[in-house]
Amino acid sequence: MRQKQIGPYWVRKMNVKRPFGLAAAFLALAVAPAGAEEGMWTFDKFPSVKVKADLGWAPDQAWLDHVRLSSARIEGGCSSAIVSAEGLVQTNHHCVVGCVQNLSAPGNDLVVTGYLARGRAEERPCPGMALQVLTDITDITAEIAKATAGATGAALTKARNAAESRLQKACMKNREGRSCEVVSLYEGGRYNLYGYKRYEDIRLVFAPELGTAFFGGDPDNFNFPRYCLDVGYVRLYENGKPASTPEHFKLRAAPLAAEEPVFVSGNPGGTSRQLTTAELAFQRDYVLPWRLNMHAELRGRLLAFAALGAEEQRIASDTLFSQENSFKARIGMRLALVDPAVFGVKQAEEADLIKRIGADAKLKAEVGDAFGEIARATSAFSAFNQFYYYAEQAPGYGSELMNFARTLVRGAAERAKPDGQRLPGYTDATIGKTEADLLAATPVEKPLETLLISFWLSKTREYLTADDPFVRKLLGKESPEGLAARLVVGTKLGDRAERARLWKGGAKAIADSRDPLIVFVRNWDEDARAIRKRYEEEVDGPIVLAHQRLAKARFALYGDALSPDATFTLRLSYGRVRGWTEPSGRVVEPFTYFSGLSARATGAPPFKLAPSWEKRITSLEPGTIFDVSTTNDIIGGNSGSPLIDREGRVAGAIFDGNIHSLGGNYIYDGRLNRTVSVASTAILAALSEVYGASDLVAELKQ
């Protein structure tokens, strides 16, 4: 099991979405194509007046409190809904598949067969899984401002960190099961303290077969119409017993109606809606097309490798899924940016902001030439972004062995430095996790490792050219294929004990090592560090500072009228049940039905029904709504969020967006951006008719 690879796929998607390390405010204007339903709103600043105007209905405070307290964040990157008084939680199959895989054993692959606990005794613990319910939000903007008044530069950072730490500790003091975090919204325009009730004894109740949850596989991923039962159930336990959860959602058994208002309560992971048009153009014209070609070629290599046999298929499947998912995600992102209507909105937003800043002398002075600084840093980056990527961001392109070697080489050097001077991942606060990852029992599949390292070397040479000094240093007189094979065959880093020995041995052990992979990484790590430093100084530093000034200006000008960029904290988005019309003119209806599943099933993967469904499909009511498309503004991290109706009932579990929703990283396009959920009607029918899960259905209907 490759622990770092079995997380929910929307989480992985989140990782690919941030070109630079930016998180800032978001500017929305009432310009087409951004729709009325734009916004991932915090629960303490929900724009009820606007929503009332848009939907003809808006939730009151009691509704908001109830929904917030019935929603739960899954640590690591998902969302969920508490759906019974006894701690039953509904989320996506792809948010619990890691646990399902952990519970599997040779000859008993629960990912393939699915799992249903018959009674509490069969509910099986998911180690490492934890959920949090947001209990309270406190505005601490004033405290932070007070604590940092007059400070600048490093002193400012230090003062802010100290204040945050103090407030956080006070929030948690003497309260078991509580966790607190400081949330910075609008790039520091507002600071909130979020208090959570935390559950860490989580047990698996139900997961369907992968073939049912991910029916249609990659061809249907991010597409709609869709026929996935991407749902799973776990239960919160406290003191060895099911947790008491008086605040919980009811499931709605009645079918949804087109145009009906719906809400999504969940934790969108991150958006980049504040990027300037210079940054967007760079993404659109250079970064995305290049990375897409990388994904496409590696996908081709992996598909051919996986076709060699069952074992190769097994070895390659996670990496292949990740490449295909990232490929489609970036396809959607690029398509949004090349749409003149979308880019036009971004240009209009920027022009409006510049105009408003210009009209305010104080703001104008504070913002200075932020747009120019960002454009120049982006332009500077274009000269070395591929070098930065191949040398520092992606050596080995996911190879475990390469990651081990880099952690060992860097760890030895970093640990010798004072805490404040170390690279991220090697500070006192973070080195524990780095060490744990290094020494975990991560399986190493040598053929896949060779494939990935060889791919990385070959693309590094292709994009930097064979004349590049770094490429020459990497390859010497070897070919990418030959070098990758030599490194993987020769290294002993697949052995945990050897990794532990080198980690403990520190700088001397690394200097003395003759392991070919250590020798290889040692040879160019200084080049990688140098380009990282250049990136931080010439690109990331100037851009982050300029964006902070812009974000402050935006907040001063627009305030709460705009929702902040996503921060993987609880948000509420509103919308309607609605399909869309493709630019080609094709009309996509908002619902799919069980009848469509029968029509779509071919018997050939990924359109092959699981045996349980093959047996029961003909006896299911064909008119039952299966999956549903809505206009809610969501993004990766929202996986497992409840789709909620006006009565506060759960009408579905959101599990995907359409291809256009990927552009949501940059902008919400109300014409096309759609959220995809599995409807409660399908969930209830499947549980009772296909899986015979009568106890579960009874609990859901209580």
CB 465 to a copy of itself: min, Å: 6
CB 168 to a copy of itself: min, Å: 45
Report d(CA 663, CA 35) in Å as an integer: 13
Nearer to a copy of itself, 137 or 316 (CB): 316
Nearer to a copy of itself, 199 or 305 (CB): 305
Diameter of the chain by CA atoms? 72
Nearer to a copy of itself, 473 or 504 (CB): 473
Outline where 339-445 has alpha helix (H). 340-358, 361-367, 370-382, 385-388, 400-414, 431-439
Report d(CA 698, CA 702) in Å as an integer: 6
Collapsing DSSP states into helix, strand and coil, what is residue 178? strand
Report d(CA 394, CA 677) in Å as an integer: 34
Report d(CA 527, CA 464) in Å as an integer: 14
Nearer to a copy of itself, 577 or 659 (CB): 659
Outline where 71-209 has alpha helix (H). 93-103, 110-113, 141-148, 153-172
Spatial contact of 11 and 637, defined as CB atoms under 8 Å apart? yes
CB 666 to a copy of itself: min, Å: 15
Amino acid letter for position 274 = Q
CB 332 to a copy of itself: min, Å: 13
- φ/ψ of 270, rounded to 5, equals 180, 145
Nearer to a copy of itself, 220 or 414 (CB): 220
Nearer to a copy of itself, 97 or 342 (CB): 342
Nearer to a copy of itself, 165 or 581 (CB): 581
CB 343 to a copy of itself: min, Å: 10
CB 308 to a copy of itself: min, Å: 8
Q: Which residues contact 361 (CB under 8 A, 6 or more apart)?
A: none
Report d(CA 321, CA 6) in Å as an integer: 10
Nearer to a copy of itself, 300 or 622 (CB): 300
Nearer to a copy of itself, 307 or 429 (CB): 307
DSSP 277-342: HHHHHHIIIIIHHHHHHHHHHHHHHHHHHHTT-HHHHHHHHHHHHHHHHHHHHHHHHHHHHH-HHH
Q: Which residues contact 72 (CB under 8 A, 6 or more apart)?
A: 79, 80, 81, 82, 89, 131, 132, 133, 199, 236
CB 603 to a copy of itself: min, Å: 6
Report d(CA 325, CA 327) in Å as an integer: 5
Spatial contact of 287 and 385, defined as CB atoms under 8 Å apart? yes
Spatial contact of 501 and 509, defined as CB atoms under 8 Å apart? yes
Report d(CA 152, CA 447) in Å as an integer: 52
Nearer to a copy of itself, 497 or 604 (CB): 604
DSSP 534-555: HHIIIIIHHHHHHHHHHHHHHH
Collapsing DSSP states into helix, strand and coil, what is residue 473? helix
CB 490 to a copy of itself: min, Å: 17
Spatial contact of 644 and 264, defined as CB atoms under 8 Å apart? yes
Q: Which residues contact 80 (CB under 8 A, 6 or more apart)?
A: 71, 72, 73, 74, 89, 90, 91, 95, 131, 234, 640, 641, 642
CB 569 to a copy of itself: min, Å: 34
Which is nearest to 688 in space by CA: 320, 229, 344? 229
Nearer to a copy of itself, 177 or 482 (CB): 482
Nearer to a copy of itself, 216 or 269 (CB): 216
Q: Which residues contact 314 (CB under 8 A, 6 or more apart)?
A: none
Spatial contact of 395 and 389, defined as CB atoms under 8 Å apart? no
- Side-chain-side CA neighbours of residue 364 (13 Å): 8
CB 461 to a copy of itself: min, Å: 5
CA end-to-end distance (rounded Å), the chain: 38
Which is nearest to 248 in space by CA: 72, 61, 124? 72
Nearer to a copy of itself, 127 or 583 (CB): 583
CB 456 to a copy of itself: min, Å: 13
Nearer to a copy of itself, 154 or 604 (CB): 604
Nearer to a copy of itself, 235 or 334 (CB): 334
CB 563 to a copy of itself: min, Å: 29
Nearer to a copy of itself, 62 or 587 (CB): 587
CB 460 to a copy of itself: min, Å: 11
Residues that bind a copy of itself (CB under 8 A): 216, 218-220, 223, 225, 285-286, 289, 292-294, 296-305, 307, 327, 331, 334, 338, 382-384, 461-462, 465-467, 475-479, 481-482, 583-585, 600, 602-605, 607
CB 444 to a copy of itself: min, Å: 20
CB 671 to a copy of itself: min, Å: 15
CB 602 to a copy of itself: min, Å: 4
Q: Which residues contact 702 (CB under 8 A, 6 or more apart)?
A: 84, 85
CB 378 to a copy of itself: min, Å: 13
Neighbouring-strand partners of residue 132: 73, 198
Long-range contacts of 489-494 (CB under 8 A, 24+ apart): 489/446, 490/515, 490/516, 490/517, 491/401, 491/405, 491/515, 491/516, 491/517, 491/518, 493/401, 493/404, 493/405, 493/408, 493/444, 493/517, 493/518, 494/401, 494/444, 494/446
Report d(CA 375, CA 278) in Å as an integer: 5
Nearer to a copy of itself, 333 or 510 (CB): 333
CB 475 to a copy of itself: min, Å: 7
Size (the chain), residues: 702
Nearer to a copy of itself, 192 or 460 (CB): 460
Report d(CA 363, CA 247) in Å as an integer: 45
